[in-house]
Amino acid sequence: MTLNQLKIIEPVAGDYNLPNYSEVRRSFKWEDAGEDLSFNKTGRLNMAHEAIDRHVEDGYGHKTALHYVNGDERVSYTFKEVKEKTDHYARILKENGIEKGDRVFIFLPKTPECYIAILSAIKIGAIAGPLFEAFMEDAVRDRMNDCGAKLLITDKEMVKRVPEKDIPTLETILYAEDIEAEPFIDDGKQYTEWMDAEDGMLIHYTSGSTGKPKGVLHAHRVVTHQYQSGKWVLDIKDDDVYWCTSHPGWVTGSVYGLFTPWLNRATVVIQGGRFKAEHWYKLIAELGVTIWYSAPTAFRMLLSQGDVLKDYDLSSLRHILSVGEPLNPEVIYWAWEELGVRIHDTWWMTETGAHLVVNLPGEKIKPGSMGRPFPGIEVGILDEAGEVVPRGTVGQLAVKTPWPGLMKEIWGNKDKFDSYFKYEGWYVSGDLAYQDEEDYVFFQSRDDDMINSSGERIGPFEVESKLIEHPAIQEAGVIGKPHEVRGEIVKAFIVLREGYVESPELLEEIRVFVRNNLAAHLAPKEIEVMDELPKTTISGKILRRELKRMEIEKSAVDQNA
């Protein structure tokens, strides 16, 4: 069965925020986007103002801005309360000498304080750097050093993973517990710094196939793209309860967990704790979640738990979205059959600021496809010469520049930034795809060695660099090995130094070494010892593609055996 023979899921009639895609797509101009945003009327711009303070000014201060759920713990805040809290954090940041453009890092679990700390840094004109909660010392240090972090907001537990002495630019560490304990002073002061559209706002570190993670810097202008995608793709309305499962240390968690829903005045759900099917379903049922944004790995895990969902009333759900990795048609059919709700795939990247290819609620879904270009976005499938290929042909997935969400720069690395724009007028994503006659885009694979495990983007170089710091390892090559639930898992091939002998204990020690220094999700799930690694004859570079080819061949043999 080829993809095009898969059963199409027709749109369900509904009162969607984008009534007529074809019409809008023809007439849409980015200048007309973001109609509700206040800077379009006042000329004054700040992401934090648009996401929170604007709603208080517009008379929605008493609307619930967030529900926080962690086990039996439940907390809810109104928009007015979130505004006061961001003012409170902003005042303390100011007192600690933070100025416009300074880098303020946030290293907290998925709690309201994490969201509020990010917004407060942005409010006073600083650049917020959210870190994923599972990072260990080396991952924290590399990222904060790369862009010269000046202040860190963390808590008294996570600070144990902050190698303070190795981060020379770091002047201050603040603890969320202490900030929370200080009384809020309503001094009537305006903490919002009005920003230029091109001023930096957010930095996310993300991996490619070479080098250490890069700092993708976004400017305040991203607000227009995020607002508009929230309105049309997430289809947020005033009575929606919206839940994105990602931590703000990942771009999905900041852009679609925090900024975009709040730009559209949604009630946001923040869920602490680990994945457990029962807890997730219970949360949806108890809070009456209407819009749910997650990733294929999570959906596959839920699917594998079978009938668990029958114990919960999930009838509040009206709209589900997916991102980060290829969405299997089985998963779409599962949700359609079991929940009667369509899963809408979305495609974008840390670098792109917001959605680029999407399935809209009022349009048919072709399972296997990520959807069609967002209005105002032009996709091109390019060949090696940078020419657009005929429909149906696989090539490099590229996007016409510019658009408001596109990153401003890669921190301190102009060459890397320029490498995305090697064909005049195009941003090249690094993904391979084809497009059909109706504009639907079908993802094929990455064009490089980047690993995608559970929707998390993992650079093989960062893992390899850590592996060879282990005394037993001479060389290491890291690949993504295909995996049924997680999409891919991290697999390492290593050559041992003389005097070391392979043993289960040694391999476990190596795994723990990576986990304790970088992060659990970066530690190889499998390690294979080899006598030598395949390399290019001229430059002697490790051939990850060859390792991957061997691995895929081997698992095909295993399956046939």
Q: Which residues bind ligand 6R9 (CB under 6 A)?
A: 206, 251-252, 323-326, 345-350, 370, 429-431, 443, 446, 452, 457
Provide, rounded to whole angstroms, the least separation between the CB of residue 458 and ligand 6R9. 9
CA angle, residues 217, 222, 227, in degrees to nearest 5: 145
DSSP string, 415-435: HHHHHTT-STTEEEEEEEEEE
Provide, rounded to whole angstroms, the least separation between the CB of residue 302 and ligand 6R9. 18
Q: For the chain, how big is the Rg over CA atoms in Å?
A: 23
Provide, rounded to whole angstroms, the least separation between the CB of residue 339 and ligand 6R9. 20
What's the token pair of residue 174?
Answer: 């603040």
Rounded to the nearest 5°, which phi and psi values hold at 481? -95, 130
Mention every residue, 6+ apart, whose C-beta is less than 8 A from residue 510: 467, 470, 472, 473, 492, 494, 524, 527
Q: Is residue 69 within 8 Å of 270, Cβ to Cβ? A: yes
Q: Is residue 199 within 8 Å of 210, Cβ to Cβ? A: no
Provide, rounded to whole angstroms, the least separation between the CB of residue 512 and ligand 6R9. 26
Q: Which of 97, 123, 353, 68 is nearest to 222 (CA)?
A: 353
Choice between 206 and 435, CB closer to ligand 6R9:
206
Pairing relationship of beta strands 103-106 and 127-130 according to DSSP bridges: parallel
Choice between 34 and 324, CB closer to ligand 6R9:
324
Provide, rounded to whole angstroms, the least separation between the CB of residue 374 and ligand 6R9. 13
Choice between 90 and 216, CB closer to ligand 6R9:
216
Give me the sign of the Cα torsion angle 27, 32, 37, 41: negative
Provide, rounded to whole angstroms, the least separation between the CB of residue 351 and ligand 6R9. 7
Provide, rounded to whole angstroms, the least separation between the CB of residue 352 and ligand 6R9. 8
C-alpha distances in angstroms, 309 versus 71, 303, 382, 541? 19, 9, 43, 48
Provide, rounded to whole angstroms, the least separation between the CB of residue 399 and ligand 6R9. 11
Choice between 86 and 246, CB closer to ligand 6R9:
246
Choice between 61 and 230, CB closer to ligand 6R9:
230
Mention every residue, 6+ apart, whose C-beta is less than 8 A from residue 65: 52, 55, 77, 78, 79, 81, 82, 262, 267, 268
Choice between 224 and 229, CB closer to ligand 6R9:
229
**Amino acid (one-letter) located at 131:** L
Cα separation, 349 vs 355, in Å, equals 8
Nearest residue to ligand 6R9, by Cβ distance, number only: 350
What's the token pair of residue 16?
Answer: 């969607």
Provide, rounded to whole angstroms, the least separation between the CB of residue 299 and ligand 6R9. 12
Choice between 68 and 374, CB closer to ligand 6R9:
374
Residue 286's H or E segment, with its range, is helix 277-287
Choice between 227 and 347, CB closer to ligand 6R9:
347
Choice between 318 and 457, CB closer to ligand 6R9:
457
